[in-house]
Chains A and B, each alone.
Chain A
Amino acid sequence: MDAQATGDPGGGQPWGPHNTVTVVDPSPVNWLSITWNTMEEANRVDHDGIGQPSLAESWTWLDRETLELKMRGAVYQDGEPFNAAMFKLGFDKVQEWTNPHPPGAFLNFARDVTCEAVDERTIRMRFPGGDSAALMKLRGMHLPSTRFWNEWGFIDPKTGSAEGHW
C-alpha cells in the first residue's frame, strides 16, 4: 500500500533514526496489531486490558435490546469528517458478508441487528433478544473512511471476497 493510497497528505517531518522505532513482531496475529494501529473502532482496549471509548465517546443501553452510541467529532487523515453516517456505513459493510472476521463467527452481529444514524452524532442499534457481546463485537468493527471502502474494503485481491478477511 503506498502513501497516497492511505490518504496520507504528505509534507510531514523528515524521518530518520532519531524519530523511528523499529520493531520485530513474530506474532501470528501481527496483521491484527497493524489493523488496530491504523484503523479505529467505536471502542478499544487500553494497555491495562480495560475497555475504553474511542470513536464513540459514550454509549448507553436504553433497554435490553437498544444500544445508543454518541460519536465524537473526528477527521480522517484525508480530511473527511467522521460522523454517525460513517459508523452506519461500517456496519452496513460488515453485514454484507457471512463470516468476515478471521477470529470467527462469534464476532458477527446477528442478521436481525439494525443500525440507525439518528443524527450527526447519534447511533441507535437494536439487538433483538439482547446481546451482551455487543461491545466486544464493536471492537472488531473497523470504521475507515469512504476512500478506504471505495478502494479496498477488506477485499482479498486473490479471491475478490472479504470473507474471513476483515
Chain B
Amino acid sequence: MLTEGVSLIDSRSDRVVMEPNATYWNPARKPTVRIVYDNVIGKDAGIKSVASGDGRVDVVFDLTPAEAKAFPQSDKGKIQTKKAKTILTGVFNENKPDSVWRDPAVRRAFNLAIDRQFVLDQGAHGYGTVIPAFIQPGRYGADPGMSPLPHDPEAARAGLEKAGLGGREIVIVASPSWQGVVEAIGQCLSKIGLSARFVSDRGDLPEDFDLKLEWYFDWTPQYPVACVHREFFGRDATLRQGPEDPEFDALYEKLLHTPEERTEEVVREVERYIQDRSKALFLYSPFTLFAVSDRVAFTPYDTCMSELAETRIKG
C-alpha cells in the first residue's frame, strides 16, 4: 500500500513509498519488503550505485542496450534481462497523399533491405529477439506459420529503385536510445546504395521524415491487438503516421465481436494482415533490461510494469 508520495502522469514526488499490506489475501504475492521509488537520484547514478553496492539503489529499470553493455564487472550487481512483450518497429511516414510509403510493395521492399539479426546484434548488442510482426513466437496470438520477412537485398534494391528511392537518404526519427539501431539499419541500406540519417526524437517531428522508430509494450491479459496493433494502425491510433485503414479497423471490429474462445485465430489474422501489407518496418522484440543489486531477488514482469510484489531481499 502507498504510504508516501504520488506518481502521476505529469509529475512525481521525490520519493514514493509502498509498504506491505499485512492482511493481503494472496500469500504468493504478499510483499515482504518496503519499496522506495527514488525519483531524485537519476538513472546513471542509480546504475553506478547498483554496480558499486553502496546500498543506495537496488534495482534500476529500463536500461538502454548501451547502458546494459557498459555495466561494469561487479560482484555487487548485475544486468538482468527479461523477454518482455515488447516491440521495436518503424512507422512509415504515410502522412502525405503522394507518399511512396503508402504503397505496400515499397514498404515490403524496405523490409527486405534489412537484416534484422544484424540490426539487433549490431545496434542493440543482441538484447532482443527477431520476430515476424508484432507478437513473439510462442505467445498468445503468434501464428506458428509466420516467419520474419527475409533479408533479400537484390529484391529490396529493385523495389526501392522502381519507386524512385535509389540512392536516397532515409530519414529516421528515433529516441537517442535507438541511435545504434538506426546506424545498423543504415549499414544494411548502404549495401543497396541508400543511406540512413538519424534524427533525435524531440517530440516535434520534422516534416520530411521517412520512418519513426517506436518502442511499445503489451500489458494486457492476452489481448495484444487492442493494446499494440490498434495503437499503430487503428482508427484511434496515437502512433499512426498516415490515413486510417478501414481493413484494419474491420479486423479489429471482428475481433471485438468474436467469442473469447475463438479470438486467438483473429489475432493471428491481424498479424498476417500487417505482415502481408508490410504495415511497418518489422525489427525485433527488445528485452527489458535492469541493473539489479546482488542482495535482491528481483522478479521482472513481461508486461514491462514495475510490479514488485514478488521482489525479495535474499537470505
Seen from chain A, the residues whose Cβ lies within 8 Å of a Cβ on chain B are 1-3, 6-9, 12, 15, 17-27, 29-34, 36-38, 43-52, 61, 64, 72-75, 77, 102-106, 129-136, 139, 165
Q: Are A132 and B256 in contact (CB under 8 A)?
A: yes
Contacts of A50 in B (CB 8 A): 221-222
Find the residue from B25, B38, B222 having the highest chain A CB count within 10 A. B25
Asked if B70 lies at the interface with its beta carbon under 8 angstroms from chain A, I say: no
Q: Is the CB of B22 within 8 A of A20?
A: no
A21-B36 Cα distance, complex, nearest whole Å:
6
CB < 8 Å: which of A22, A30, A33, A38 contacts B57? A22
The 0/1 profile, CB within 8 Å of A marked 1, for residues 254-269 of chain B is: 0111111001000000
Bound together, the chains give a CA A73 to CA B25 distance in angstroms of 8
Let me know if B220 and A19 touch, CB within 8 A.
no
B222 contacts A23, C-beta separation under 8 Å: no
Interface of B is mostly: loop
Nearest to B6 among chain A residues (CB) is: A1
Contact of B221 among A31, A43, A47 (CB under 8 A): A43
Q: How far is the CA of A12 from the CA of B1 in the complex (A)?
A: 12
> CA of A12 to CA of B17 in the docked complex: distance in angstroms?
14
Looking at B7, B38, B299, the one whose CB has the most chain A CB atoms below 10 A away is B7
A142 → chain B closest CB, angstroms: 13
User: B163 contacts which chain A residues (CB < 8 A)?
Assistant: none
Residue in B8, B18, B58, B263 whose beta carbon sits within 8 Å of that of A38 in the complex: B18
CB distance from B217 to the nearest CB of A (A): 8
Interface assignment of B103: CB less than 8 Å from any CB of chain A: no
Residues of A within 8 A of B256 (CB): 130-133
Give the bracket for the number of chain B residues in contact with chain A: 35 or more
For the complex of A and B, the 7 pairs showing the least CB-CB separation, nearest first, are A51-B221, A49-B302, A24-B46, A136-B223, A33-B306, A74-B25, A34-B7
Residue of B nearest to A44 (CB): B221
Contact B223 A133 (CB under 8 A): yes
Q: List 17 A-B contacts (CB under 8 A).
A: A19-B34, A20-B33, A23-B306, A24-B37, A24-B38, A24-B43, A26-B62, A27-B61, A30-B7, A32-B219, A34-B7, A46-B301, A51-B221, A64-B259, A73-B25, A105-B236, A136-B220
In the bound complex, how far is the Cα of B273 from the Cα of A109, in angstroms? 27
Whether A21 lies near B33 (C-beta < 8 A) is: yes
CB of B19 within 8 A of CB of A15, answer yes
Expressed in whole angstroms, the minimum distance between the Cβ of B56 and any Cβ of chain A is: 7
B268 vs chain A, min Cβ distance (A): 14
Cα of A22 to Cα of B59 in the assembled complex, Å: 7
Inter-chain contact B221/A19, CB cutoff 8 Å: no
> Which residues of A sit under 8 angstroms from B257, Cβ to Cβ?
129-132
Tell which of B36, B139, B306, B309 has the most Cβ of chain A within 10 Å.
B306
Say yes or no: is B238 at the interface (Cβ < 8 Å to chain A).
yes
Chain B residues with Cβ under 8 A from A129's Cβ? 257
- Report Cα–Cα, A31/B219, bound state, in Å: 14
**B239 CB, min distance to chain A CBs, angstroms:** 11
B168 close to chain A: CB less than 8 A: no
Interface residue? B308 (CB, 8 A): yes
Cβ–Cβ contact B5 & A1, under 8 A = yes
C-beta contact mask, B76-89 vs A, less than 8 Å → 1, else 0? 00000000110000
